[in-house]
Structure 1
Amino acid sequence: MTGPDPTPPGPRPLAWLDTQARARTEAGLRRRLSPRPADPAGGAVLDLAGNDYLGLSADPRVVAGATAALRTWGAGATGSRLVTGSTALHAELEAELAAFCGHDDALVFSSGYTANLGVVTALTGPGALIVSDAAAHASLVDACRLSRARVVVVPHADVDAVDAALAARTETRALVVTDSVGSADGDLAPLAALHRVCRARGAVLLADEAHGLGVRGPGGRGLLAETGLAGADDVVATVTLSKALGSQGGAVLGPAAVTAHLVDSARSFIFDTGLAPAATGAALAALRVLASEPERAADVLRVAGALAAACDAAVPVSAVVPVVLGEPGPAVAAAAACLRRGLRVGCFRPPSVPPGTSRLRLTARAGLTGAQLSFATGVLAEVLADARTGAPA
């Protein structure tokens, strides 16, 4: 039997975490997980915080697609896509997704995050230039950092700045990256103007359609389809399957030469387990629902317009309705007040948004009943009236 360790205690190597936690708490930026309970009836709390834009995550047809895939293929993909993780179901989803969005080919990843990491790093690297929009999603930012390419960050939606960066480059290859629809502001990227600059300067345009698919474009085919750019040989898109399609996963869409290159070189594809069969089946079923019910996309914008009107916010052009309140404290308090009244809304604070722009982030969902929409707008109007006057929530 051994005695106590005679070594005297030294400095705590993780003590800095306590300091960081205190600083975040004082700034109103401490985050905590809040598990939501199961709500089979869907009536306890009305959700306007999630990204289930088309209301398909619990649709019986989508659940049936997941269940059938689970029974046929099992719980997991069992390996990377290059080993055992590719099934006939994955190939079916890729073919239908590419055809629906108007691109030559598609390659499914385990998430939208890994899709962005894979395509950006595989299409660039040392000796290439990336021109990135300042408001690009964190997955694109991280992809730029991992690429080992030279990165120029330009002001949000500034086409002239993109043109200047491309014109001044010495690199042979260049990639311009942007979200097609802003995740925090819900605004639309000037894709047509960006593409004109890219084509004139010999660059490739990469648009993340995470918030465009299912909402923008004919029948929800995305903003690239809306602007006539889907299928162009110098345009690549990424999508997520976890928002409008209500499932999980992501994909890269574009020329077949791009997807073939990714299979050979995208590390987040090669070294990651394939998307689980249940998620694949659910996404495929949701895509088929969207194809057969294109009116869902228009319904999202209708609901978004009603929410914005109740909040005295700008007319939205996507499912995202931002209500900027300024500092983190009022935004957190307003979100909590909504939840107490039975309405769940998003709350975005730095670093998700710039300092001084903390906000409620409302996400419209197709299929809300008149009673649900009336309830939501009533709660929002009441809570925001208090928040803007400084009254207790």
Structure 2
Amino acid sequence: MIDQISFQTAARTVDHLGREQIADAPTAVSELWKNAFDAYATDVELNVYDGSDPVAALLDNGHGMNREDFVSRWLVVGTQSKITADTTSADDRNGLRPRPRQGQKGIGRLSCANLGPLLLFVSKRRNQKIVAALVDWRLFENPFLTLGDIRLPVTELDSLHELLPQLPELARQLLRNVDGDGDENYSKRVIAAWSSFDALHTAEVRDGSAVRETAPAEAIRRDLARLPFNERHLAQWQVWTGEAEHGTALIVGGLTHDLAVHVQHQILSPIGQDAKDRLIQTLSSFVDPFYDPSSHELNAVDPHFHYAVRTWRGDRSELLLGTDKQFSLRDIEPLEHRIEGRLGPDGVFRGRVKAFGEWQEARCEIRPPADLRIGGRADA
């Protein structure tokens, strides 16, 4: 007899695709900014707040999501590939011309796991209700759960002022993924899975190989009982202030070292300083640095996309980087050597060369290697 059997997806697949496929926190932020660009945002920010439990807020004024979008797109791994045509409506483009899609593999949203385990997702589309959800990425680390075992609490709100009072209930419902709920079969399955995972941690502690200080289930219960999110972390969001009717806020708790180091008060170690430097190096010149409205350049296009990274210590903020502080065309105008041109569809670069301060009369043409073969996939 021949049976038809489907693949089963372990919950850890999300962990592998998100946290383990992203190099570090700056790369994760870059991936999330790409998603904001694809949502036709014109402003995006990363704000890192100090406190006993530092929090990061990634805020944009893109077209946002409603509940249906969140369920059918955000929670579906592998969407938004380059091979998918951009079907964003004119209304959602907010007056902007179509943009080339930046998100490639549909896992950018999973990058949040590289910033910290707790995520408060809040989003709003124009003239629609607000959607909010709470995620603890550590749920996806349990090797004894399947992806279908994890259920995330999602709610709709008429006003943002309803959000913070609902956090305890969102946390309570998220905790059902560890302690079970009214469904006997489901409860039995998840309780056994966390018991096995905790037992694995106990064995690792015993043989000295543990990487966690606290048993997995206990850590989740502890952190959901004391969520660090408050009004301060939403105060810079344009939807919260009324400056925008739409956008998305990703509020992250339990920050990794790469982000928490930016609001530390003590003198940084070389490792901490390296983490700060990598954030600036990765996110600087996120958009085309050669666009300058006061100067013509062959390939430059105004992206209508402004970004900033700020740190907050109490009520005082510091701008670490932003569109106005990035490397630009003005910085290379005085250089003695430049090459400027276009790469055509035939793979040939055509342009001009500046050498020792003078533009050369002869046109520059650079052809690809004769044995180069381009792949046939649209997303290659």
TM-score by length of 2: 0.25
Q: Please identify the structure whose Cα radius of gyration is greater.
A: 2
Higher helix share: 1
TM-score by length of 1: 0.25
